[in-house]
Structure 1
Amino acid sequence: MFTASTLGSIGEGVEAEPWARRSVAAHEAVGPRANREEWGHALLTLATSLIYRERPEPEEAARIGVQVLEVVDGYPTRTVSQRTGEMLGMLAKYRALPAVVDFRERLAAASRPALTT
């Protein structure tokens, strides 16, 4: 995941994608026992790899964003919430695409981390 994240952050989304997919697959293989926060970050890294490339895939990235919200549903963390918001910003120029609209609406309705005593 960290290799994919680094490659994505320097605009090498095509090179980042296989690394991100490996990370997502590893979390999916563990299933419900997986750390939901790390699984969410792996998915966000994959989505970022689809945005930061010569030919972006914003609709697929937005669908993965929805998957992030499903993975962390009931277990939101500050870092995943922050990164999903950042991802929505990355999709700003694609805001009219149906998948991006769906992601934005679901993100707006998603539970947020709360302070606990």
Structure 2
Amino acid sequence: MLVDGRLCLFVDGGGARVLSFCDETTAAGASQLERALRSLVKAVRRMALKRLQIEEIDGEKARSSPLADAFCRAGFRAGYRGLELDRRQLHDVEDEGEEEGNSER
């Protein structure tokens, strides 16, 4: 996922592993990560996947990753193998984002 032309998240072809390239310890990096995760959620909604299941983030188990909270705020939840995003639950996440987008216009 690119944010402002910079690579922030890389999701492998199967979706099981994610690499982050944002420095989430800074305000700017945390904002970039949040934007990248929103884009990821929207991409999953457009794809034909029923569920995206992430097992690893930056080489660590997804549920114990320092980024797990950010993923959960974006709509992921703890699952058996890691963090998962169920397409059927995404309408709530996207509806919130659309409301925020409408208020900026």
Give the TM-score of the pair, scaled to structure 2.
0.35
Q: Normalised by the size of structure 1, how large is the TM-score?
A: 0.33
Task: Name the structure with the higher helix share.
Answer: 1
* Structure number having the greater strand percentage: 2
